[in-house]
Structure 1
Amino acid sequence: MAHQKFRARVLTPEGEAFAGEVEMVSTRTATGVVGILARHQPLLAILEPTELRLYRTESEIERFAQAEGYLQVAEGEALILVEEAHRPEDLDRSELEQRLREARERYEQAADGSEEQRRAQRAVRRLEAFLEVVTA
């Protein structure tokens, strides 16, 4: 069953990762997984690292490894502002695994409650999510 389409944009500090018409956006917010359809009520949410799915149709899905960021739904558009958004085929599994090991080491070596420890913990969560997207 086809759904009404709406505009979705994915923006990173490097520029626009995606812009187009979609039937649904699926991502994870700080409070849980959310699916956005056309005519969704206005929404502002904090995004967690996860797999971002943009459904052009039921069978045509644009997938991204999404870092932390924000989702805004307003005026018939979903705007996804994230630190990083990578297509799974652009990610190197072995490089991600190495970066994850390094982030875990930084976390273990950092002083409890320090900003360095919080940054390392965010990196661990992001890299774990990216690895899940690559292996899915």
Structure 2
Amino acid sequence: MNTDLDNISIGAFAKAAGIGVETIRFYQRKRLLPEPQRPPGGIRRYGRADVERVKFIKSAQRLGFSLDEVAQLLTLEDGTHCSEAAAFAARHLADVRARLKDLKRMETVLSRLVAQCSSHQGTIACPLIASLRSR
């Protein structure tokens, strides 16, 4: 295997980036990652910039950004659009906070229903099922 990250095969690229070959092809179809030209009679070669781009994509996904949002972030990737990136991240943060609020509400309701199920006795219908039917 060639260890020089400036001239690697797709397999070596996948390994260096910590993803599968099919993920690379998927990112190329989504236009998140450029597909290098195939030289006549040769194979496509990838470089360090490609590995770094995939790491950027994966980092953004770990923060909850969708692939469409990652594509938008990639247009700001050169670092000269900090205020735009910050505004973009602020909108995403507001969405994350709203989802957290919804999750907290769901946790409270489910916790109460599980507790009711645990204390349920007799032939009365299951409190959880009854609650879901009435909603």
TM-score (norm 1): 0.32
Using the size of structure 2 for normalisation, the TM-score is 0.32
Larger radius of gyration: 2
**Structure with greater strand percent:** 1
* Structure with the largest fraction of helix: 2
